[in-house]
A and B are shown apart, each in its own frame.
Chain A
C-alpha cells in the first residue's frame, strides 16, 4: 500500500511563520509543498522553506550535545551539558559580574521560549544583555 501524507507545519527557519506541507511518502520525508490558502505565506516560500525537509534526517545534524574535552568534541548527555553550562555561567558571573554575560535568542524559537530566555537573562543571570538573531 502506498502511504502518502502531507503534514502541515510552520517553517522553522525564521520568525515569519510561513506554512508548508512536509511530503511524507512511505514514512520518509521526500519534499516540501507550500500551503496556498494559508494567511501568512499564501502559497509562497523562500529557498530555505523549500528545503526544510533536507535537514531533518541529514547525517550532519547533531542529535546529542557535544562537550569539548581535551580539544575534541565528544558526545554528552543533556544532564552533563546543562550542568557544565550552569557551572561556567556561575563562574563567569562571580568573577566578572552579570553584565559579562549576553543571551542571544532566536527567531526560530516560539514566543514562549524567547520569553523564558529573557526571563533567564534578567532574573537568573541579572543582565539586560538580551538580543536575537532576527536583528541581523
Chain B
C-alpha cells in the first residue's frame, strides 16, 4: 500500500498536463508549508509537496480566480475545503466547470485535531486516501451542555481576549463580501483595544456565517487569542440543519437558505454589498 503523499503526487502528475496549475501545499524555506500553484513547467517542485498542516487553500484559489476568472485549475482539497469550494460556487465566487477537485481524505489524528464530523470529500471525482468516519467534538458538546448563564460567562471571558486582528475573517473562505460589516463603525468601533463590546464583533461574524460555515476551523487555528469560535458556528449549523434541512457544502444543487428570498431572480454577484 502506498502512502497518501505518494498517491497524491501521482494524481497531481496525471492532472497537471490538462490544467494551468494545481493548487496544493508545498514545504518552503525553513520547513514552513504554504499553498502553492504547481505547474507542468516546474513539476520537479512536487518533491516538496506536503499534506499537513492544513492551509486555507480555497482562500488562495479565490485570490487567483479574482485575477484569472477563466483559469483552468485543479485543487487538492480536504472534506472541509471541498465544502468551502461548493459554498463559494453557490455564492457565485467561482466556476466549477474549470475546476478539477482532488479530494484528500483526512486520517484519524487530523480529524481529531479538527474535531471534525465529516473528514472526507463527497464531490471530488479524484480522491486520495481512504475516507474515515467523523469524530466527536468534545469541546462543542461541553459548551452546549452549559447552562445559559455559564455559556454567557464563558463567551464573555473568551471574547475579552480578542485583539481584533480580523484574522478569523481574513482567513475564512466564506468571507468574501466587498464591504464588510465588521469594518462598519455602527457595529465595531475602530481604534480601540480592548474592544468596548467584543461580543458585537463575534456575534456579527457568527450571524454572517449562518448556513455558510463549513467547519474548516481555519478561524480557530489562526486566532492569536485561542478563542474556540468554531463552536458557535457549529451550534448555529446544527440549528440551520434542523430548521432548513441545509448543510453547507453537502449538496451541489440545494440552494442555501439565505439565497431563497432571491429565488425569483437570477442571483449574480453585483459587486455591491449584499
Stretch at the interface among A44-52, A72-80, A95-103, A114-122: A44-52
Q: In this assembly, does A110 line the interface, its C-beta being within 8 Å of a C-beta of chain B?
A: no
Q: Tell me the bound Cα distance from A2 to B76 in angstroms.
A: 17
A34 near B35 with CB under 8 A, answer no
Q: What residues on B are CB-neighbors of A49 within 8 Å?
A: 165
Q: In this assembly, does B163 line the interface, its C-beta being within 8 Å of a C-beta of chain A?
A: yes
Q: Which residue of B lies closest to A19 (CB)?
A: B32
B64 near A25 with CB under 8 A, answer yes
**Given A4-B60, A46-B165, A47-B163, do A33 and B221 touch, yes or no (CB 8 Å)?**
no
A26 near B67 with CB under 8 A, answer yes
Stretch at the interface among B23-31, B96-104, B241-249: B23-31
Q: How large is the interface on B (under 10, 10 to 19, 20 to 34, 35 or more residues)?
A: 35 or more
* Residue of B20, B53, B67, B171 touching A37 (CB-CB under 8 A): B53
Q: Which residue of A lies closest to B224 (CB)?
A: A44
Q: Tell me the bound Cα distance from A50 to B170 in angstroms.
A: 8
B20 near A44 with CB under 8 A, answer no
A33 near B167 with CB under 8 A, answer no
Q: Tell me the bound Cα distance from A21 to B26 in angstroms.
A: 13
Q: Which of B71, B73, B224 counts the most A-chain CB atoms under 10 A from its CB?
A: B224
Q: What residues on A are CB-neighbors of B35 within 8 Å?
A: 6, 33
**Given A37-B33, A43-B222, A50-B167, do A30 and B39 touch, yes or no (CB 8 Å)?**
no
Chain B nearest CB: distance from A4 CB in Å?
4
Q: What residues on B are CB-neighbors of A19 within 8 Å?
A: 32
Q: Tell me the bound Cα distance from A6 to B27 in angstroms.
A: 11
B55 near A36 with CB under 8 A, answer yes
Q: In this assembly, does B141 line the interface, its C-beta being within 8 Å of a C-beta of chain A?
A: no
- Does more than half of chain B's interface fall in helix, strand or loop, or is it mixed? mixed
Digit string of B52-67 for contact with A (CB within 8 Å is 1, else 0)?
0101100110011001
B167 near A45 with CB under 8 A, answer yes
Q: What residues on A are CB-neighbors of B236 within 8 Å?
A: none
| A19-69 interface (Cβ within 8 A of B) | 19, 21, 23, 25-26, 30-38, 41, 43-47, 49-50
Chain B nearest CB: distance from A125 CB in Å?
36
Chain A nearest CB: distance from B220 CB in Å?
10
Q: Which residue of A lies closest to B53 (CB)?
A: A36
A45 near B33 with CB under 8 A, answer no
Q: Tell me the bound Cα distance from A49 to B32 in angstroms.
A: 17
Q: Tell me the bound Cα distance from A128 to B130 in angstroms.
A: 66
* Residue of A2, A38, A47 touching B165 (CB-CB under 8 A): A47
Q: Tell me the bound Cα distance from A51 to B131 in angstroms.
A: 38
A21 near B34 with CB under 8 A, answer yes
Q: In this assembly, does A8 line the interface, its C-beta being within 8 Å of a C-beta of chain B?
A: yes
Q: What residues on B are CB-neighbors of A38 within 8 Å?
A: 30, 32
Q: What residues on A are CB-neighbors of B115 within 8 Å?
A: none
Q: Tell me the bound Cα distance from A38 to B186 in angstroms.
A: 36
B222 near A2 with CB under 8 A, answer no
Q: In this assembly, does B164 line the interface, its C-beta being within 8 Å of a C-beta of chain A?
A: yes
A36 near B64 with CB under 8 A, answer no
Q: Tell me the bound Cα distance from A104 to B60 in angstroms.
A: 40
Q: In this assembly, does A124 line the interface, its C-beta being within 8 Å of a C-beta of chain B?
A: no
* Residue of B28, B30, B68, B224 touching A2 (CB-CB under 8 A): B68
Q: Tell me the bound Cα distance from A82 to B28 in angstroms.
A: 39
Digit string of B128-154 for contact with A (CB within 8 Å is 1, else 0)?
000000000000000000000000000
14 residue pairs of the A-B complex, CB under 8 angstroms, read: A2-B64, A4-B21, A8-B28, A21-B34, A32-B170, A33-B55, A35-B34, A37-B32, A38-B32, A41-B224, A43-B53, A45-B224, A50-B167, A50-B170
